[in-house]
Structure 1
């Protein structure tokens, strides 16, 4: 059996930047065990599998598809960059004729629309809740923060219980270089939190909107609990970040930059209907087939 596979770097227009995702458009469903084995073999933060909902559809004319995402360790409920990459594969390589594609996923229906050189994803918004007494109430929260940022001053700690993501905002006295220079050990980070409350850590600081290109905030994201030491550019984390910073900055539209070593840019728009638009570009770096 030959399975087509594409690797795309998402949230960038340059190869070897952004976040790489493998995408496999499938004629028929495979077993969960095989999905996981392929994800392990691809060894990227996410491998996406697209399948048809109606067998009479094809990848060119169909507008609705099933979409699942697997890390090398497990299946996940939401992934932004691999959704962006999946839409790009259907639009660019399957010449899909529809202006918008809808993916049925573990997180409900996710629509992706072409926009200029990139794509806009319609995602759920995940507002986090402030950990008011994080410094003395949640001992494990203290441990995870210390493991990530050491003695750097922390301004806010919020938890998105729905996504199990902890958001830690460094004080405004910390600039971008502080965030990028942090050395976060994934083993220490994972061992600091075993309660199950947290499965991903977002570190963020206020941006420099008055300096070109005008980023409203910066972030990094770590998820060793899912087998991802650091994710280069994370759409799902921005469903939390977008909500948090929209309220703090009083803005609906924001430009964000994720400060991993690869780096990536995301355009965000928090909508009045409780969802968020996440826009970005994607570039292909590999096309091939998996032989089974």
Structure 2
């Protein structure tokens, strides 16, 4: 069995930046165990599997598809960058004729549309609530050391812990953080937290900076030490920073080694549009 497979760098307009995702196009049903085996082989933060919902569907003409995401260790409920990568493969490689695509996922129906050079994702918006620092003090200490923390929030829907650094710090301070993913795993064993966001207020409006906030994201509980650019984390960050900044339109940058930019627009229906660019860097077939 041969499966068309692509590697797409998401949330960037440059090859080998942003967040790489593998995208598999399934012409036929795949035996359940193979999804995880393929994701382990790809060794990327996510491998996406696009499947037809009906036998007569077509990757060029149909507008609705099933979509699943797997890390090297497990299936996840939401992945923004692999959704963007999936839409990019359908729009640009398969020349899909529709202006908007709908993906049926574990997080419900997600829409993706083209807007100029960007692809806009319609994602759920998740709230993060005040978290007693004492309950997560050891985990926060492992993540940021002696850096001053201004706020700690928890998103129960996503099991993500948001740690905001003091506004006195600069982007370079966030970039220099050396986070030990194994220590995170050893510190948080109850799996209340399955993703750690470290974020910092940006300097939007300045001469050299144009981002409302910065972040880094760590998810060793899902087999991802540090994710380069994370759409699902921004489904939490968008809610938090909109409240903090009083803005519904924002530009964010994830400060991993690869880096990536996200355009954010909160919607009236309680969801969020997250836009970014994508670059196809590899195309081939997988034989199983």
TM-score, length-scaled by structure 2: 0.98
The equivalences for 1:161-176 within 5 A come to 161-176=156-171
Which residue does 1:228 correspond to in 2?
224
Task: Tell me how far 1:239 sits from its aligned partner.
Answer: 0.4
In structure 1, stretches of 5+ residues that fail to align are none
Name the structure 2 match of 1:206: 201
Q: CA deviation at 1:93?
A: 1.0
Match of 2:250 in 1: 254
- The Cα shift of 1:194 comes to 1.1
- What are the superposed Cα offsets for residues 189-213 of structure 1, whole Å, 9 maximum, x if unpaired? 1111111210000000000102245
CA distance in 1 between counterparts of 2:151 and 2:183 reads 22
In 2, Cα distance between equivalents of 1:104 and 1:7: 21
Q: Please state whether the residue corresponding to 2:273 is helix, strand or coil.
A: strand
Q: CA deviation at 1:70?
A: 0.3
Pair 1:216 & 2:212 matched: yes
User: Who is 2:140 aligned against?
Assistant: 145
Q: Which residue of 2 aligns with 1:34?
A: 34
What is aligned with 1:72? 72
Give the distance between the partners of 1:162 and 1:177, measured in 2 at CA.
30
Aligned-CA RMSD value: 0.7
Question: 1:266-281 alignment to 2 at 5 Å?
Answer: 266-281=262-277
Distance 1:72 1:32 in 2: 15
Matched with 2:104 is 104
Q: Distance in 1 between matches of 2:234 and 2:114?
A: 20
Secondary structure at 1:237's aligned position in 2?
helix
Residue aligning to 2:22:
22
SS in 1 for 2:188: coil
Partner of 2:185: 190
1:6 equivalenced with 2:6 (yes/no): yes
> Taking structure 1 as the reference length, what is the TM-score of the superposition?
0.97
**For 1:72-110, what per-residue CA distance to the aligned partner results, in whole angstroms no more than 9, with x for missing partners?**
000000000000000000011111000000000000000
Q: Tell me what 1:245 maps to.
A: 241
Name segments (4+ residues, structure 1) moved above 6 Å: none
Asked if the contact 2:191–2:221 (Cα under 8 Å) also holds between the matched residues in 1, the reply is no
Q: Which residue does the alignment assign to 2:133?
A: 134
Q: Secondary structure at the match of 2:232?
A: coil
Distance in 2 separating the partners of 1:69 and 1:57: 21
Deviation string, structure 1 residues 4-28 (Cα, Å, up to 9, x no partner)? 1000000000001000000001101
- Per mean C-alpha deviation after superposition, the further-off stretch among 120-129 and 24-33 is 24-33
In 1, Cα distance between equivalents of 2:230 and 2:29: 26
Q: Is the 8 A contact 2:59 2:90 kept in 1?
A: yes
Q: Distance in 2 between matches of 1:101 and 1:174?
A: 40
**3-state SS of paired residue (1:236):** helix
Number of aligned positions between the proteins: 287
| 1:33 positional shift | 1.0
